[in-house]
């Protein structure tokens, strides 16, 4: 019985040393990983570099058409950023000023007018395409799709 106390003490001491070694090793590995991530050497969330959808390409083309790439932006940023717009969109005769918002309003109005005309013309196109016999045998609907004719 006298020998069991020092053996138990040695095994407890050995277990503590092993646990401490594992803990310190884990902290070192975590520290190295944190350092690599913070320096950008490891990327946890790879992101797409370029947007190549049709909307992105159209937006990029629109922006490029509005700038003057022949002007150095460090010398004259206003001309660099605005020359393309001002040369392609002169102030109309009936306006004292002109900008992006009136231009957008005009384009939206044109698109709405086009859609409204499409809706108004649809019943007449349906009648012309279907003919009087088809109209007599079917329930008339100006909103039916062309596939239903």
Q: How many separate domains does the chain show?
A: 3
Residues 119 and 136 in one domain: yes
Model confidence at 85: pLDDT above 60: yes
Q: How confident is the model at residue 149 (pLDDT cuts 50, 70, 90)?
A: very low
**pLDDT value for 91:** 80
Tokens at 62, concatenated: 């629109």
Residues 107 and 145 in one domain: yes
Residues 38 and 75 in one domain: no
Asked whether residue 85 is domain-assigned, the answer is: yes
**pLDDT value for 143:** 60
Which residues contact residue 33 at a Cβ distance below 8 angstroms, ignoring those fewer than 6 apart?
Answer: 42
Is the distance from CB of 140 to CB of 125 less than 8 angstroms? no
Asked whether residue 51 is domain-assigned, the answer is: no
Taking only the tens place, the pLDDT of each residue in 63-79 is 888 888 899 999 999 99
Residues 83 and 123 in one domain: no
Residues 107 and 135 in one domain: yes
> CA angle 99-105-109, nearest 5°?
145
Residues 35 and 76 in one domain: no
The Cα 83–Cα 73 span in angstroms is 12
Residues 146 and 130 in one domain: yes
Mean pLDDT of 24-40: 90
Range of the domain at 38: 13-42
Which residues contact residue 100 at a Cβ distance below 8 angstroms, ignoring those fewer than 6 apart?
Answer: 85
Which residues contact residue 135 at a Cβ distance below 8 angstroms, ignoring those fewer than 6 apart?
Answer: 127
Asked whether residue 80 is domain-assigned, the answer is: yes
Asked whether residue 4 is domain-assigned, the answer is: no
Asked whether residue 90 is domain-assigned, the answer is: yes
Model confidence at 86: pLDDT above 60: yes
Asked whether residue 56 is domain-assigned, the answer is: no
pTM, rounded to two decimals:
0.38
Asked whether residue 142 is domain-assigned, the answer is: yes
More confident call, 48 vs 78: 78
Asked whether residue 8 is domain-assigned, the answer is: no
More confident call, 33 vs 9: 33
Residues 92 and 114 in one domain: no
């Amino acid at each position: 019985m006298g020998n069991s106390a020092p053996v138990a003490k040695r095994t407890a001491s050995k277990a503590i040393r092993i646990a401490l070694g594992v803990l310190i090793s884990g902290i070192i590995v975590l520290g190295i990983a944190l350092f690599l991530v913070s320096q950008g050497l490891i990327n946890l969330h790879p992101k797409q570099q370029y947007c190549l959808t049709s909307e992105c390409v159209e937006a990029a083309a629109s922006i490029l058409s509005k700038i003057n790439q022949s002007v150095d932006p460090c010398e004259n940023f206003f001309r660099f950023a605005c020359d393309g717009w001002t040369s392609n969109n002169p102030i109309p005769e009936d306006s004292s000023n002109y900008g992006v918002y009136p231009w957008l309003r005009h384009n939206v109005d044109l698109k709405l007018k086009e859609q409204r005309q499409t809706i108004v013309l649809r019943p007449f196109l349906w009648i012309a395409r279907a003919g009087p016999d088809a109209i007599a045998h079917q329930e008339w609907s100006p909103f039916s799709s062309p596939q239903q004719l």
